[in-house]
Amino acid sequence: MAPACLQHHSNTVCVMDASGRLGSALVQRLLQRGYSVHAAIQNHSENESLKAILSGNSKQKLKIFDLDPFDFPSIIEALKGCSGLFYTFEPPQDQPTYDEFMGEVEVRVAHNVLEACAQTDTIDKVVFTSSATAVIWKDDHQNDKSSLSDSDLDERQWTDMNFCRKFKLWHALSKTLAEKTAWALAMDRGINMVCINAGLLVGPELSITHPYLKGAAEMYEDGVFVTVDLNFLVDAHICVFEDVSSYGRYLCFNHVINRTEDAVKLAQMLTPETPQSQKYDQDMRMIQQRISNKKLNKLLVDFESGPQVD
């Protein structure tokens, strides 16, 4: 159950977009914690995860809304009566690939969602899902690695957007642009927003084509290649929503890929057809971790996660 001390307008929250792996997992965990949930999704007739939830015991607390992220009224409709929003961007089906134009799409959607929140009186808090790629990319990663040794990267840093354009890091650019847009609107309109800057979400659906992986070798060498498990990521979202002391940005990861063995295992997961190599046994090198999630870990100390998502 949501802590009573939060004094939200209601115990109803919205998950938008709920069609992805994170979104559907959030819906399931929120229902388990006693919330009523508005699941706003694109093409909900094709979503098997939500169909399974609807067939279970929680269907009376779950409402599904058709979402067109470019249609402002559909966003407003999904938010009606909700005290909170968990927002995560899912690329439109007609533009699934991150390219130089995706930033414009993601910014437009973020603007629509935050403006809708500003116009919804019952919204007390917004949890905005961004990416660690909106933190880690800047020139000194390649030109002066020693500059990172004295202080880890944390939530105070922002990715250099010109650097992303130069090296065509479109995922990082899109996430940075969208998050900056959200923060600007949240501050201008007085919206209580916190942001989860997530590492690479691992799991059976992860493939070598995931846009987060552009620049993976450089992330590895710089000690900033981080991943996150689904349950940990869901816990982080709910924790920052329920904790009245949460603020700003939170880097979210529970594993750092900084050993050759870790990198090989990830490569084998991404390309299982590739013959397994044991060469990494001779390379025991460990890259120094240069990224910190201390802020989130401190908040999670007293968090009771409850049932885990399968």
List the chain domain ranges.
Answer: 12-203+228-253
Q: What is the pLDDT of residue 46?
A: 60
Please tell me the distance from the alpha carbon of residue 144 to that of residue 153, in angstroms, as a whole number: 14
Question: 64 versus 284: which is more confidently predicted?
Answer: 64
Share above pLDDT 90 across residues of the chain, in percent, rounded to a whole number: 68
CA 138 to the chain's CA centroid: 20
**29-79 pLDDT, tens digit each:** 999 999 999 999 987 556 666 666 666 656 789 999 999 999 999 999 999
CATH of domain 12-203+228-253: 3.40.50.720
Q: In what order do the strands lie in the sheet with 193-198?
A: 62-66, 36-41, 12-16, 84-87, 125-131, 193-198, 248-252
Threshold 0.85, pTM exceeds: yes
Distances (CA, A) of 262 to 99, 215, 220, 256, 265: 28, 16, 10, 9, 5
Q: What is the average per-residue pLDDT within 178-192?
A: 97
Residue 104 pLDDT class (50, 70, 90 cuts): very high
**Which residues neighbour 76 within 8 Å (Cβ) at sequence distance 6 or greater?**
116, 119, 120
Supply the pLDDT for residue 304: 82
H or E element in which residue 75 lies = helix 72-79
